[in-house]
Amino acid sequence: IKHPLQHTWTLWYFEPDKNKTWEENQRKVTNNSLYNHIKAASELQIGCDYSMFKQGIKPMWEDEANKCGGRWLLNLDRKLRNMDLDRFWLDTLLCIIGEAFNGYSDEICGAVVNIRGKTDKIGVWTANAKNKDSVLEIGRKLRERLKISSKVSICYQIHKDVMVKSGSQAKNAYVV
């Protein structure tokens, strides 16, 4: 049977372990782990991530597919964890896997949810930060599909800026 989706996707799980490097802490979620319960994002421990990326792309800045790219970033106050986080993450997955970005889905590399102490984060990673039209269109579409309130703006950060700043402190290259 022809695959009904355009791409094959890989789910990654990050759990912080101080004895390992950041990269070693990224694990592919294999078929075996599907026999266990895959927790909702809101049930993960602080410090953990899920990443869903196109097959062959690692969920890291250094990957060939990501190195010129950036991410649309949605900051979610911890207080929203019970209410909104799982819905936002699920809708984000549906957008990327369902190729919802009109002609721009080729620009999508993947998406990440970071569970953190104060502010959880959802990032949609795109391939080339210089492709302004596609970056903006993806941002607008994301706003629309996630039904983000017009009072809230979402910002795009270039990975190269995030690498040298720290976490969410990087400047915003685009805003929608």
Q: Which residue number places its CB atom closest to ligand M7G?
A: 167
The yes or no reply on residue 9 touching ligand M7G (CB under 6 A) is: no
> Between residues 162 and 176, which has the closer beta carbon with respect to ligand M7G?
162
3-state secondary structure of 113: strand
Q: How far is the CB of 114 from ligand M7G (least distance, A)?
A: 5
Touching ligand M7G, residues 48-77 (CB under 6 A) = 60-62
Touching ligand M7G, residues 113-152 (CB under 6 A) = 114, 116
18, 110, 137 from 173: Cα distances, Å: 32, 19, 14
> Between residues 22 and 30, which has the closer beta carbon with respect to ligand M7G?
22
Residue 7 CA to residue 19 CA, distance in Å, equals 34
Among 17, 22, 34, 94, binds ligand M7G (CB under 6 A): 22
Phi, psi (deg, nearest 5) at residue 89: -70, -45
Residue 90 CA to residue 99 CA, distance in Å, equals 14
Q: How far is the CB of 60 from ligand M7G (least distance, A)?
A: 3
**Runs of H (alpha helix) within the chain:** 31-35, 86-97, 132-146, 159-164
Q: Are 79 and 137 in contact (CB under 8 A)?
A: no
3-state secondary structure of 124: strand
The amino acid occupying position 102 is N
Q: How far is the CB of 78 from ligand M7G (least distance, A)?
A: 12
Among 79, 152, 153, 167, binds ligand M7G (CB under 6 A): 167
Which residues make up the interface to ligand M7G (CB under 6 A)?
22, 60-62, 114, 116, 166-167
